[in-house]
Structure 1
């Protein structure tokens, strides 16, 4: 018998590192996300397909909000502590709507930053915090990473985060991708 029929409210995800704040997306982030994802430079290694309409950014945020509820995690907006600026996103995403390297239903760590914030270690810092959250709060057994084969900066960031390169594989769209993984030491 339930003593309290009210649904327990989920606490929003908020992660802080020395230089960054990672927090859940909200509808106020649409303009900043559109600026990020409409930039062709940002999409050089993401299929060269930047978003064209703000409605695409709105849908992405709505999908993240739904995944916070259904999977307890999704990508998180990154704010630079010093300036308060939105600089991109990072975090885990439960991949249950695509297949990569014969895998589905897995957690992927990712990041995407505005070009003016590249080469500052922010992707690594946010990625490490995301993996730590996944292992220590969500108790995930294995986290994966994926990058295009020619994306050297992302390859280096994934290794610095602690993931291990596993293999290259051909994706269904014909591109060659790299597959990475890291195991939660609590499961070893």
Structure 2
């Protein structure tokens, strides 16, 4: 993957094996998993497996989740990106979903919005995606606010692994 996106404060680049420690810090935190089914990872090997899965998505789908890195410190703080949904979600399959996940110390600083906005623009302009999708746990007000701030609209509600979620959509012409 040769994609690299820069924003004012962030570098969005492919996730690499050396991101395993940062990925473990992210996904082992129970607070990060509050709205994701409360199933944090328990080992660095799980983080490495997750990275391998992401790298396979790059190969198979030409896109996926990318590292979110602070420009000032080169610190891995999470991931963001566009994923091709190859498994049905809310009766949709083979559609593009925007997503993000950040380490807890970096919440509330606008990094999620900044990364998601950059990916939305990239998806619409470079990838020529016609419609972008997202899902969010109905109780995750902060993430819902990010998606709505981007201009995404709630179009339905559904259950994902027995978790009540909103389904959001945005047409390419809305930027």
Where on the TM-score scale, by shorter chain, does this alignment land: which range?
Answer: over 0.9
Q: 4+ residue runs of structure 1 moved beyond 2 angstroms? A: none
Q: How many residue pairs get matched?
A: 174
Q: Distance in 1 between matches of 2:61 and 2:48?
A: 19
Aligned to 1:147: 136
Q: Distance in 1 between matches of 2:107 and 2:49?
A: 26
Q: Distance in 2 between matches of 1:125 and 1:102?
A: 29
Q: Provide structure 2 residue ranges, at least 5 long, that are not aligned to the other structure.
A: none
The two structures have a TM-score, normalised by structure 2, of 0.95
1:111, distance to aligned residue in structure 2 (A): 0.6
1:162, distance to aligned residue in structure 2 (A): 2.1
| 1:24 maps to 2:41 | no
Q: Provide structure 1 residue ranges, at least 5 long, that are not aligned to the other structure.
A: 1-10
Q: Distance in 2 between matches of 1:167 and 1:132?
A: 23
Q: Distance in 2 between matches of 1:166 and 1:27?
A: 37
Q: Partner of 1:162: helix, strand, or coil?
A: coil
- Largest Rg, 1 or 2: 1
1:28, distance to aligned residue in structure 2 (A): 0.6
| 1:68 maps to 2:52 | no
Q: Partner of 1:75: helix, strand, or coil?
A: strand
Contact 1:128 1:162 in 2 (8 A): no
Q: Distance in 1 between matches of 2:155 and 2:104?
A: 28
The two structures have a TM-score, normalised by structure 1, of 0.89
Q: Distance in 1 between matches of 2:151 and 2:48?
A: 32
1:166, distance to aligned residue in structure 2 (A): 1.3
1:106, distance to aligned residue in structure 2 (A): 1.2
Q: Distance in 2 between matches of 1:126 and 1:84?
A: 15
Q: How does 1:81-96 map to 2 (within 5 A)?
A: 81-96=71-86
Contact 1:91 1:111 in 2 (8 A): yes
Q: Distance in 2 between matches of 1:128 and 1:71?
A: 21
Aligned to 1:185: 173
Aligned to 2:153: 164
